[in-house]
């Protein structure tokens, strides 16, 4: 985007809005006072304490993406909506693959961020990350996305190390009637969704429900030369949600989704059966995915100061990848009890169990094994208990103590405590501090998966690519974090809200790559490193069989012998400039310092990898204008610093949205994304074999009809 384009665009936007505003002020929006308007943007949250509380009072770095934010931004995916959040870094690898991380360690398999949809964990235990291309719902049904930057493990469990993303959908009672959403454009070829909500029950039972169907067909990105990358993305989805009360004290809810779709990521593959061909790029390889989930909730509230709840979840996921076929079933059940004791203690405690069954087949380049033997099945279990006490010390001071004890099949028992204190200096000014411990438990891939022919990494000044064959290690331990946070938030004059957080994190036992004594390929494609005095890994070379001297193969595995420190600052502000114009701005600064033990032989490449995964500076500016006669104009400018490890330069992107409310029920909009850019590369990585592609400028039109 041109450096002169942004100031010119903002000046033109203000001039346009002012001119149109002068014509008339006959709009329902203007009936609200400034205090009412800003209050609409400060919803209560539940993710910090597992109970409803004011966001202003929360002793955590929490940010809320509202349903209005999602609608006004014009985003069509959940990962793109997360770009609005300070402290999160979101980058797109290809047309359907994202890296989403908080406070460092940005990667496609970002493994320190726990993600939930209505309490259902979508964090994959196979590789400690999220398959973002299958995490979706009808965006109009999302009530809010609560994002905690920083540890949330004491309440939500292991892997909630650097943050928690809690996607909360609307109640069925709030989605009554019909809604049709449809559109299409240059990249969003065609999309549509239909939702219907109704009621059921008798004199003693009050119930609400909704059902929906959704489909889309998205075009692929571009290659570096501008040609079509052909990484298209298609998905069909359907779901329902029902809620009812059987009496004044008991409520139930039941919901579920099913989905099926296809992506076509280009893959870099070295086939040991065709070594003379070297590394090949496979295109037009369909990756089919399908699955579904069911969530049941029961809640009994005998009084305003006590309630009991049980949540049960079943999740099925099937992935038909060229490199492996994976089928996974997960069952989870959780009990929770809340009680207000002695007037000053709000106590929440609970127990949970999770069982995960794996079945794999067609293991071409990714192999699941058990005790060095290939295995097609695996079963893992997780038991946990948590407790939290919110103690009201005085009307202005609150102390929160919480902890979680877990037992997993990889590392045994894990203890994760947390302490937070909040000082409510005034009704609209809060200071808070926290100290936390959290762990990231090993994934299946780090313990019992072998990959070969899909990981390529250019080491130092080596002139040719290096291939890494990676095998898991049964002895890998959990990664550990001790985090310190300070925060301040305030609402000024009912129209300006600011939120500032500073943090310092210490990581120990980080998993890193080391040389292995094993030769992965039967025909032993492995070569001594040319610079034997300074090898990137400590490697015992296999038999030198130069079938393809253009490539090196280093067998590797994992261990825990790396440390890191991260520190940074996160700032967010919402400013209701006047009745018709709102500005939202946030900025994040991050520094990552990795450290090798003084007496260790840890490769320098591991240290560089961790330090260079994330950008130092990220910023967002969003402008929302409510113009007369039902017109809306929204602009979103975002900046991200260079990603050294991904070899991506700093870039600025611009999205625009113009919408018209035809009547009470119909809205039409035109959305432009990545304006003024022919194409842009956001991310690359070396460990999955996925070929990066470039994002293009795009436009789409949409209509929403509610009746």
Q: Report the pLDDT averaged over residues 520-536.
A: 40
Report residue 212 as tokens. Answer: 């929906």
5 phi/psi in degrees, rounded to 5: -70, -40
Report residue 324 as tokens. Answer: 């492996």
144 phi/psi in degrees, rounded to 5: -170, 160
Write down the pTM of the prediction: 0.90
264 pLDDT exceeds 70?
A: yes
DSSP 264-325: ---EEEE-TTSGGG-EEEE-S--EEEEEEEEEEEEEEEEETTEEEEEEEEEEEEEEE-SS-E
Locate the DSSP E strands across 16-153. 44-45, 53-54, 61-66, 88-94, 97-102, 113-117, 120-121, 142-149
C-alpha angle 184/190/193, rounded to 5°? 100
Locate all alpha helices (DSSP H) within 100-178, ordered by sequence: 153-156
CA distance linking residue 26 with residue 43, whole number of Å: 27
- Those residues with Cβ within 8 angstroms of residue 29's Cβ, 6 or more apart along the chain or in another chain: 579, 580, 626
Looking at residue 532, what is its pLDDT?
Answer: 40
Looking at residue 549, what is its pLDDT?
Answer: 46
Tens of pLDDT, residues 129-157: 899 999 999 999 999 999 999 999 999 99
Q: Report the pLDDT averaged over residues 618-634.
A: 96
Least confident stretch, 32-41, 242-251, 358-367, 563-572 = 32-41
Tens of pLDDT, residues 633-682: 999 999 999 988 778 889 999 999 999 999 999 999 999 999 988 889 99
Report residue 561 as tokens. Answer: 């012998």
Which of the two residues, 8 and 82, has the higher pLDDT score? Answer: 82
Looking at residue 8, what is its pLDDT?
Answer: 43
CB atoms within 10 A of CB 342: 7
532: three-class secondary structure by DSSP: coil
Sheet containing strand 163-169, strands side by side? 61-66, 142-149, 163-169, 113-117, 120-121
Q: Report the pLDDT averaged over residues 512-520.
A: 67
Q: Report the pLDDT averaged over residues 469-475.
A: 88
Q: Report the pLDDT averaged over residues 336-361.
A: 94
CB 398 within 8 A of CB 392: yes
Looking at residue 685, what is its pLDDT?
Answer: 83
Report residue 327 as tokens. Answer: 């089928």
Looking at residue 462, what is its pLDDT?
Answer: 53
| Cα distances (Å, whole numbers) of residue 259 to 236, 239, 396, 581 | 6, 9, 48, 39
Q: 651-661 and 397-408: which strand pairing? A: unpaired
| Cα distances (Å, whole numbers) of residue 583 to 12, 30, 43, 653, 673 | 16, 17, 17, 17, 19
CB 512 within 8 A of CB 602: yes
Q: Report the pLDDT averaged over residues 405-431.
A: 95
602 pLDDT exceeds 80?
A: no
23 pLDDT exceeds 80?
A: no
321-335, 606-620, 643-657, 683-697: which is most confident: 321-335
CA dihedral of residues 393, 161, 591, 695 (deg, nearest 10) = -130
Tens of pLDDT, residues 204-233: 788 999 999 999 999 999 998 899 999 999
- Those residues with Cβ within 8 angstroms of residue 281's Cβ, 6 or more apart along the chain or in another chain: 266, 267, 268, 269, 691
Looking at residue 249, what is its pLDDT?
Answer: 87
Q: 267-270 and 466-471: which strand pairing? A: unpaired
Looking at residue 663, what is its pLDDT?
Answer: 93
Looking at residue 459, what is its pLDDT?
Answer: 55
686 pLDDT exceeds 80?
A: no
Tens of pLDDT, residues 333-348: 999 999 999 889 999 9
Burial of 281 (0-12, 13-18, 19+ CB in 10 A): exposed
Looking at residue 517, what is its pLDDT?
Answer: 63
**Residue 609's beta-bridge partner residues?**
none
CB atoms within 10 A of CB 5: 14
CA distance linking residue 590 with residue 605, whole number of Å: 21
Looking at residue 598, what is its pLDDT?
Answer: 60
697 pLDDT exceeds 70?
A: yes
| Cα distances (Å, whole numbers) of residue 380 to 124, 206, 330, 350 | 13, 39, 10, 21
373 pLDDT exceeds 60?
A: yes
Least confident stretch, 93-97, 398-402, 457-461 = 457-461
Looking at residue 197, what is its pLDDT?
Answer: 97
First and final CA of the chain: distance in angstroms?
A: 40
CA distance linking residue 25 with residue 30, whole number of Å: 7
Q: 345-361 and 233-245: which strand pairing? A: unpaired
Token pair 């980058």 is found at 91
Taking alpha carbons only, the member of 511, 525, 510, 523 closest to residue 555 is: 525
478-492, 591-605, 675-689: which is most confident: 478-492
Report residue 526 as tokens. Answer: 């492995």
Token pair 């001071």 is found at 397
Tens of pLDDT, residues 449-462: 888 888 876 555 55
Looking at residue 597, what is its pLDDT?
Answer: 64
505 pLDDT exceeds 70?
A: yes
CA distance linking residue 563 with residue 512, whole number of Å: 10
Looking at residue 452, what is its pLDDT?
Answer: 83
193 phi/psi in degrees, rounded to 5: -150, 145
Looking at residue 599, what is its pLDDT?
Answer: 52
523 pLDDT exceeds 50?
A: no
Tens of pLDDT, residues 33-80: 333 444 445 678 888 888 888 888 899 999 999 999 999 999 999 999
Q: 496-515 and 306-320: which strand pairing? A: unpaired
Mean pLDDT of the chain: 86
Looking at residue 37, what is its pLDDT?
Answer: 41
Tens of pLDDT, residues 157-175: 988 999 999 999 999 999 9
Least confident stretch, 96-105, 639-648, 688-697 = 639-648
CA distance linking residue 179 with residue 164, whole number of Å: 30
26: three-class secondary structure by DSSP: coil
CB 231 within 8 A of CB 263: yes
Looking at residue 502, what is its pLDDT?
Answer: 97
Q: Which domains does the chain have, with CATH numbers?
A: 42-176+271-619 (2.40.170)
Report residue 477 as tokens. Answer: 């331990």
Looking at residue 458, what is its pLDDT?
Answer: 59
Looking at residue 460, what is its pLDDT?
Answer: 53
Looking at residue 152, what is its pLDDT?
Answer: 93
Report residue 120 as tokens. Answer: 């259902």
């Amino acid at each position: 985007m041109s450096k002169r384009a942004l100031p010119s665009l903002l000046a033109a936007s203000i001039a346009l809005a002012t001119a149109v505003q002068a014509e008339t002020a006959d709009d329902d929006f203007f009936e609200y006072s400034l205090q009412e308007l800003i209050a609409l943007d400060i919803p209560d949250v539940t993710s910090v304490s597992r109970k409803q509380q004011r966001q202003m009072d929360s002793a955590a770095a929490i940010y809320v993406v509202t349903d209005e934010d999602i609608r006004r931004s014009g985003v069509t995916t959940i990962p793109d909506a997360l770009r609005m959040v300070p402290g999160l870094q979101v980058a797109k690898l290809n047309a359907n693959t994202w890296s989403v991380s908080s406070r460092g360690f940005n990667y496609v398999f970002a493994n320190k961020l726990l993600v939930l949809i209505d309490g259902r964990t979508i964090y994959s235990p196979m590789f400690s990350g999220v398959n973002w291309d299958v995490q979706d719902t009808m965006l109009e049904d999302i009530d809010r996305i609560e994002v905690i930057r920083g540890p949330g493990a004491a309440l939500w469990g292991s892997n909630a190390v650097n943050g928690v993303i809690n996607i909360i959908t609307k109640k069925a009672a709030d989605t009554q009637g019909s809604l049709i959403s449809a559109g299409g454009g240059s990249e969003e070829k065609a999309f549509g969704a239909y939702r219907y909500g109704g009621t059921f029950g008798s004199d003693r039972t009050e119930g609400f429900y909704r059902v929906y169907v959704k489909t889309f067909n998205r075009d692929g990105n571009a290659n570096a030369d501008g040609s079509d990358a052909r990484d298209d993305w298609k998905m069909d989805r359907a779901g329902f949600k029902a809620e009812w009360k059987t009496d004044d004290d008991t409520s139930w809810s039941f919901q579920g989704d099913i989905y099926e779709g296809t992506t076509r990521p280009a893959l870099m593959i070295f086939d040991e059966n065709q070594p003379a061909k070297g590394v090949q790029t496979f295109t037009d390889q369909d990756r089919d995915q399908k699955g579904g989930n069911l969530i049941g909730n029961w809640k009994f509230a005998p009084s305003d100061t006590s309630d009991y709840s049980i949540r049960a979840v079943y999740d099925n996921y099937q992935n038909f990848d060229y490199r492996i076929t994976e089928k996974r079933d997960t069952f989870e059940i959780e009990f929770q009890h809340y009680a207000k004791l002695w007037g000053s203690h709000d106590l929440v405690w609970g127990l949970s169990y999770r069982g995960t069954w794996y079945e794999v087949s067609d293991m071409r380049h990714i192999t699941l094994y058990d005790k060095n033997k290939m295995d097609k099945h695996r079963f893992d279990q997780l038991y946990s208990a948590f407790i939290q006490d919110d103690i009201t010390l005085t009307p202005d001071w609150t102390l929160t103590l919480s902890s979680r004890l877990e037992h997993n099949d990889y590392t045994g028992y894990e203890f994760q405590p947390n302490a937070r204190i909040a000082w409510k200096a005034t009704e609209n000014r809060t200071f808070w501090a926290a100290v936390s411990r959290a762990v990231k438990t090993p994934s299946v891939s780090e313990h019992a998966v072998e990959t070969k022919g899909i990981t390529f990494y250019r080491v130092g000044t080596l002139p040719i690519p290096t291939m890494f064959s990676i095998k898991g290690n049964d002895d890998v331990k959990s990664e550990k974090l001790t985090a310190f946070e300070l925060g301040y938030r305030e609402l000024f004059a009912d129209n300006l809200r600011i939120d500032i957080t500073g943090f310092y994190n210490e990581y120990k036992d980080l998993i890193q790559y080391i040389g292995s004594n094993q030769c992965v390929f039967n025909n032993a494609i492995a070569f001594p490193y040319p610079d034997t005095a300074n090898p990137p890994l400590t490697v015992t070379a296999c038999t030198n069989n130069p079938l393809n001297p253009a490539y090196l193969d280093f067998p590797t595995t994992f261990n825990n012998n790396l440390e890191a420190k991260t520190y940074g600052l996160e700032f967010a502000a919402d400013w209701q400039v006047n009745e018709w114009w709102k500005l939202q701005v946030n900025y994040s600064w991050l520094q990552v310092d990795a450290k090798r033990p003084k007496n260790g032989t840890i490769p320098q490449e591991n240290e560089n990898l961790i330090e260079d995964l994330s950008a130092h500076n990220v910023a967002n500016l969003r402008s929302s204008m409510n113009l007369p006669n039902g017109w809306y104009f929204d602009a979103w400018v975002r900046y991200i610093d260079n990603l050294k490890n991904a070899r991506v330069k700093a870039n600025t992107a611009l999205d625009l949205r113009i919408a018209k409310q035809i009547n009470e029920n119909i809205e039409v909009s035109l959305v432009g994304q990545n304006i003024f850019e022919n194409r842009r590369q956001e991310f690359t990585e070396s460990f999955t074999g996925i070929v990066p592609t470039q994002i293009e400028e795009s436009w789409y039109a949409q209509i929403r009809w509610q009746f």
